[in-house]
Structure 1
Amino acid sequence: MSDHVEVHNYTSQDAQPTLAIFLEAVTKTAAPHYTPEQIGAWAAPRERDLVTWHQRRSSRATLVATVDDEAAGFSDVDIEGFIDMLFVAPRFGRRGIATRLLREVESRAREVGAQTLSVDASVVARPLLERLGFSVEAEQQPELRGVRLVNYRMVKRLG
């Protein structure tokens, strides 16, 4: 792809675009793989506010990928190497943005001495993560807002 992808540390200006990416990715990209009830519980748009979203993103070493200065995706990693979120706007899907974000996340995790990367991956994210060296440790069925979802605890050892 000819898209020029830049990755930067999350700032307060990224709150609205990253929240929009999250909601759009869950309600569009993930929709074919989950029931409407599961999508509603996961996205929960009425329960999301920018202040809380910004606090959460700021506390988690969030990275934002942009294409031509437009937010295209985001991810994060904590000091133990746990990735809480990895989302790409549907219109930027299948352009290598998630891969680029994961490479940056892995680099940051190595810098702080994490031994592994781990993630509770959606059905949608699992194939990409497997291609990038993650393996499934367990299928999980977490309950979110009274609705059971399916995801996979996946791990990548950092050598």
Structure 2
Amino acid sequence: METMTTNDAPSPTSGSPRILYRQARARDGADQAEVFHHAVMQGAAAHYSVAEREAWAATMPREGSVWAARQALYTTLMATCDGRCVGFLELDVPKGHVQTLYVWPSLARRGIGSTLLVHAERMLLEHGHGRATVDASRMLAESLLCRGWQDLGTEWVTRGDVRLERRRLEKRLAAIET
């Protein structure tokens, strides 16, 4: 995914932001930390209690170097606007698993996460995978189920002393024309 692609290209009348998609770079780590924190604390507010969101957010420090280090573990696809991360997806290519998907809350529901998933699905197909899996939050699960993902059941994870619900989802992959 070396080539940049666009989504929501600005029009003279709408002033919509121009979103570029690319692979993450180490310098994106600090932005990733902020997107993660705000997506959990604000974006998931309608689906999880404050205690649940605080426990979830505490799983990853708000420090860029930690997120930059994760880029060595996962293929990280990035959505940027004006050079800043506004969404990202971490992909465990060997396992065919979407590890994380987060979008800045004020930009949610504008196709950024969906576009990141399209790029991830294409990458998995190129690596010979016929399916993708994800352990999705309640919020993400709702969206993915409407997009053809299949529900494999509920799982519970403990963060600190707090139990969090997530859904195990799977999607059969097929080549798409873009």
Partner Cα distance (2:159, 2:75) in 1 = 24
Alignment of 1:19 onto 2:27: no
Alignment-mate amino acid for residue 47 of structure 2: H
Partner Cα distance (2:87, 2:62) in 1 = 18
Alignment of 1:102 onto 2:117: yes
Q: Is the 8 A contact 1:25 1:89 kept in 2?
A: yes
1:131 to partner: Cα distance = 2.3
Match of 2:88 in 1: 74
Residue correspondences, number: 159
Partner Cα distance (2:135, 2:27) in 1 = 27
Secondary structure at the counterpart of residue 124 of structure 1: helix
Largest Rg, 1 or 2: 2
Match of 2:13 in 1: none
Partner Cα distance (1:44, 1:70) in 2 = 23
Q: Considering only aligned residues, what root-mean-square deviation do their CA atoms show, in Å?
A: 1.7
Alignment of 1:43 onto 2:43: no
1:95 to partner: Cα distance = 1.0
1:115 to partner: Cα distance = 2.2
Secondary structure at the counterpart of residue 42 of structure 1: helix
Unmatched runs of 5 consecutive residues or more in structure 2: 1-7, 11-16
Deviates more, 1:111-120 or 1:15-24: 111-120
Partner Cα distance (1:47, 1:64) in 2 = 19
Higher RCO, 1 vs 2 (CA within 8 Å, ≥6 residues apart) = 1
1:78 to partner: Cα distance = 1.3
1:48 to partner: Cα distance = 4.3
Deviates more, 1:23-32 or 1:137-146: 137-146
Alignment of 1:4 onto 2:18: yes
TM-score by length of 2: 0.83
Identity of aligned residues (%): 31
TM-score by length of 1: 0.92
Per residue, is there more helix in 1 or in 2? 1
Match of 1:53 in 2: 67
Partner Cα distance (1:23, 1:83) in 2 = 18
Structure 1 pair 53–71 and aligned structure 2 pair: CA distance change class (3 A): closer
Match of 1:65 in 2: 79
Structure 1 pair 4–47 and aligned structure 2 pair: CA distance change class (3 A): closer
Per residue, is there more strand in 1 or in 2? 2
Q: Is the 8 A contact 2:34 2:62 kept in 1?
A: no
1:32 to partner: Cα distance = 1.9
Secondary structure at the counterpart of residue 77 of structure 1: strand
Deviates more, 1:45-54 or 1:78-87: 45-54
Structure 1 pair 8–146 and aligned structure 2 pair: CA distance change class (3 A): same
Deviates more, 1:31-40 or 1:9-18: 31-40
